[in-house]
Amino acid sequence: MKKSILSILAGALVLGIAAGCGGGSTGATIIASDIKRDISPSVASSDITALVEGNSEFAFDMFQALKQEEGNLFYSPYSISLALSMTYAGARSDTATEMADTLHFTLPQESLHPAFNWLDLELAGRSGKGDAGFRLNIANAIWGQKDYTFLDGFLDTLGLNYGAGLRILDFINEPEPSRITINDWVSGQTEGKIKDLIPQGVIDSMTRLVLTNAIYFNAAWLNPFNSDSTSDGEFHLVDGSSVTVPMMAQSESFAYADGDGYQAVEMLYNGSEMSMVILLPDSGEFESFEDGLDAAVVDQIIASLEFNQVDLAMPKFEYEYECGLSDTLAGMGMPIAFTPDADFSGMTGGRELFIGDVLHKAYVSVDEEGTEAAAATAVIMRLTAMPAEPVQMTVDRPFIFLIRDIETGTILFIGRVMDPSA
């Protein structure tokens, strides 16, 4: 049976919007805009560039905020940007200004949402090579209180650019069944990997709107590792201790770079449309490298990658990560959105809504297993000249990794592995 080596599920991000009034009974219908999603948006290339660059800047602003926590880290900055862009469609005045500055949304709303639509559709077209070697699914859903009025213009924007209709629930009278309904949708969109995204008590009678985004990514390496080459090895932690973990190994032509205090390698996925970039700081340099990491540094490293024969060793790893992002986002520059002073009048015409919670949960698993399709696509590397002497790259200490779309430069996921055995 074909089996892919990498399953990544992230995004599954929810924004709970709270208010102080309303009512109604449970419904099961979807209130969709009369305007269907534009599946062929006309967007200037400069707008796409601005969107991707802004998303990358936000991605590493978020990394710098989240890295204060100890241990492994994994999240989808693209999912967070996408869910917040849907919320931003209803933001006005200072609330909109703060959100735009924090999220690095430099385009006006009339250009931003079509650009997100174009990028979302472009990513949806990534298919790898072969049916079983590559999967990338991105889904949005909006959940609103029964009998609560939302502006047609807000629903039109979401329908036209995000393909999201308003799904009716009764948060007031049935908060727990509503929570379960949303969690079941997220679980279904992520092949059951993201469960119980919204904890008990988060959905209550004050909830009026929840916006969700889920990403599921499953891909095979273009050059799979041979499981016979996997053996136990030491992984050195930042405190000087070490753990024993399964270390995969192969010698292959990879895009590679080394610079002042780091090594970097890019491993392609089946189809050569997406890749994982591993950033390995030199021993003793992890904290200083991490502190200086931003979009410009990553762009410079990626631009310096050149194909080289690499003797690569790296750990297998699998872990989950979840966090509440309300305080993080407020600290990054958009505090008004989380207070009663927020202005989301673009959603309802009034100013009664504010963001109650932003929740994010992710899962990542990396191992050596390949697919039949991966073997077929390994010939892509034939265009690369191999040097006589391979470089050595042993990922036996904390490292940072990115999952990115090569053509657009979109960073889908960012992770930090401090202890692959955790």
Judgement on whether residues 392 and 349 belong to the same structural domain of the protein? no
Judgement on whether residues 88 and 234 belong to the same structural domain of the protein? no
Domain extent at residue 392:
227-314+376-417
**Tokens 């909006």 belong to residue:** 142
On whether residue 104 sits in a domain, the answer given is: yes
Judgement on whether residues 18 and 50 belong to the same structural domain of the protein? yes
> Between these two residues, 74 and 26, which has the higher pLDDT value?
74
Tell me the pLDDT tens digit for each residue of 207-232: 888 888 888 888 888 888 999 999 99
On whether residue 273 sits in a domain, the answer given is: yes
Judgement on whether residues 194 and 283 belong to the same structural domain of the protein? no
pLDDT value of residue 394:
84
Judgement on whether residues 296 and 338 belong to the same structural domain of the protein? no
Judgement on whether residues 163 and 250 belong to the same structural domain of the protein? no
pTM of whole model > 0.95? no
Chain centroid to CA 216: 9
Q: How far apart are CA 169 and CA 404, in angstroms?
A: 35
Q: How far apart are CA 214 and CA 38, in angstroms?
A: 20
* Length of the chain (residues): 422
On whether residue 345 sits in a domain, the answer given is: yes
On whether residue 422 sits in a domain, the answer given is: no
CATH of residue 203:
3.30.497.10
Judgement on whether residues 360 and 327 belong to the same structural domain of the protein? yes
Count: domains in the chain: 2
pLDDT value of residue 129:
61
Give the whole-number percent of the chain exceeding pLDDT 90.
46
CATH of residue 242:
2.30.39.10
On whether residue 241 sits in a domain, the answer given is: yes
φ/ψ of 232, rounded to 5, equals: -65, 140
Judgement on whether residues 215 and 231 belong to the same structural domain of the protein? no
Judgement on whether residues 54 and 25 belong to the same structural domain of the protein? yes
On whether residue 92 sits in a domain, the answer given is: yes
Q: If pLDDT is split at 50, 70 and 90, which confidence band does 331 have? A: very high
Judgement on whether residues 249 and 130 belong to the same structural domain of the protein? no
pLDDT value of residue 145:
86
On whether residue 370 sits in a domain, the answer given is: no
Q: How far apart are CA 208 and CA 414, in angstroms?
A: 31
Pair 404, 275: CB distance under 8 Å? yes
pLDDT value of residue 310:
94
**Tokens 């979401």 belong to residue:** 158
Pair 181, 331: CB distance under 8 Å? no
Tell me the pLDDT tens digit for each residue of 95-151: 999 999 999 999 999 999 999 999 999 988 887 665 556 788 888 888 888 888 889
Average pLDDT, the chain: 83
pLDDT value of residue 133:
63
| Lowest-confidence pick of 15-24, 365-374, 379-388, 393-402 | 379-388
Judgement on whether residues 298 and 205 belong to the same structural domain of the protein? no
Q: How far apart are CA 346 and CA 333, in angstroms?
A: 21
Tell me the pLDDT tens digit for each residue of 230-258: 999 999 999 999 999 999 999 999 999 99
Beta strands in 126-224 (DSSP E): 134-145, 166-169, 207-219
On whether residue 328 sits in a domain, the answer given is: yes
Q: Is residue 311 scored above 80 in pLDDT?
A: yes
Rg over CA atoms, the chain: 22
Judgement on whether residues 160 and 280 belong to the same structural domain of the protein? no
Smallest CA-to-CA distance from 221 within 274, 268, 254 is with 268
